[in-house]
């Protein structure tokens, strides 16, 4: 910047003379110093803001992005610096716990996490309690010692909604299978229990043994293929994003889109495209932006002395091709679009 300023000064030197050159040089140097002071001041403000940490959910895709955006908006509003710890697509519960422990040991004011397993929550909350650091859990109702607040959805109720939607698509008459994850996620377990409780009440619905798959879409496609190869399945309930994408891929391969009904959870962009194309029929969606925003808001209140004795439970929405473009649903599906 100094060399650029000097070149400009020299280009005008002949017209302003030596005295003018000195004045101009002094003004330029003053502008540079003021600019540097402004930059230093901005950095000082960032350094002096108290920090909170949000640890990314495991395998959350767009839902994780929505949570982060909500948390960032709230942190800015309440005067906190948000440290977001991202995870690789291959990371699982162990990596999430390790990242959270590092954040605690660095001295964050509060930590927000959607725990990948019960073990993650137990170990993290115990360590946080020793450090007197509040833990705010997201998408989880378990308020263990050390967990000071929780933002949750009723996964059992969400599962019931999904089961009801699938039954209605089949006119309450058909064979249904569940494509689940191979990890012991309490949220997914609650979804499955809720769906089974609804489907089991309907005399015209036959619930057969399903299949499990991991976090890779191709593994879920193979699981869906083996399931549908058995024949006679009219509807699939996929408990997470990867299961739904694998099921949809196999239905398209068989050229049975529209015939085999698929109901699932999430708001991944691929899911939304398949919903619009009639491959996936219904999504049960949570408001990730609100989850992140309220998580920060509760953390701020906890640090101010508030105490919560029960979680805040958010509602889920049922989205299909007919209502996905309604204004209220657009805010849930695309919170990052203003």
Instruction: Look up the pTM and report it.
Output: 0.77
- 8 Å CB contact between 295 and 151: yes
What is the reported pLDDT for 328?
84
Percent of the chain's residues with pLDDT above 70: 84
What is the reported pLDDT for 188?
87
Residue 14 has pLDDT above 60, yes or no: no
pLDDT tens track for 136-165: 999 888 888 889 999 999 999 999 999 999
pLDDT tens track for 94-136: 999 999 999 999 999 999 999 988 899 999 999 999 999 999 9
What is the reported pLDDT for 63?
78
pLDDT tens track for 267-284: 888 999 999 999 999 999
Mean pLDDT of 13-40: 47
Residue 234 has pLDDT above 60, yes or no: yes
Residue 64 has pLDDT above 90, yes or no: no
CA count, 13 A, side-chain hemisphere, 234: 15
Compute the distance between CA of residue 157 and CA of residue 175 in angstroms, rounded to an integer. 22
Mean pLDDT of 299-306: 95
> Which of 157-161, 254-258, 305-309 is most confident?
157-161
Residue 35 has pLDDT above 60, yes or no: no
Residue 39 has pLDDT above 60, yes or no: no
Mean pLDDT of 301-310: 92
Q: Which two tokens stand for residue 322?
A: 């007919």
């Amino acid at each position: 910047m100094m060399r650029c300023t000097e070149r400009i000064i020299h280009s005008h030197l002949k017209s302003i003379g030596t005295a003018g050159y000195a004045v101009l040089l002094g003004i330029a140097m003053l502008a540079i110093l003021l600019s540097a002071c402004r930059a230093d001041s901005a950095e000082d403000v960032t350094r002096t803001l108290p920090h909170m940490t949000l640890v990314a959910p495991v395998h959350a895709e767009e839902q994780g992005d929505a949570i982060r955006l909500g948390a960032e908006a709230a942190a800015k509003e309440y005067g906190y610096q948000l440290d977001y710890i991202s995870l690789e697509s291959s990371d699982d519960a162990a990596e999430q716990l390790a990242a959270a422990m590092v954040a605690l040991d660095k001295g964050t004011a509060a930590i927000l996490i959607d725990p990948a397993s019960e073990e993650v929550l137990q170990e993290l909350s115990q360590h946080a309690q020793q450090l007197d650091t509040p833990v705010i859990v997201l998408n989880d109702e378990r308020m263990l010692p050390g967990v000071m607040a929780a933002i949750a959805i009723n996964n059992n109720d969400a599962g019931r909604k999904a089961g009801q939607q699938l039954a209605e698509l089949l006119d309450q008459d058909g064979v249904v299978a569940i494509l689940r994850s191979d990890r012991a996620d309490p949220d997914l377990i609650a979804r499955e229990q809720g769906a089974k409780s609804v489907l089991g009440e309907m005399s015209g619905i036959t619930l057969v043994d399903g299949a499990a798959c991991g976090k890779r879409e191709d593994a879920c496609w193979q699981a869906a293929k083996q399931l549908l190869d058995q024949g006679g399945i009219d509807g699939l309930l996929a408990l997470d994003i990867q299961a739904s994408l694998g099921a949809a891929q196999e239905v398209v391969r068989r050229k049975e889109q529209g015939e085999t009904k698929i109901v699932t959870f999430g708001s991944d962009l691929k899911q939304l495209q398949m919903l619009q194309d009639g491959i996936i029929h219904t999504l049960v969606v949570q408001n990730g932006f609100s989850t992140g925003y309220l998580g920060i808001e509760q953390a701020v209140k906890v640090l101010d002395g508030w105490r919560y004795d029960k979680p805040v439970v958010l509602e889920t929405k049922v989205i299909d091709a007919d209502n996905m473009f309604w204004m209220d649903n657009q805010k849930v599906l695309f919170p990052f679009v203003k």
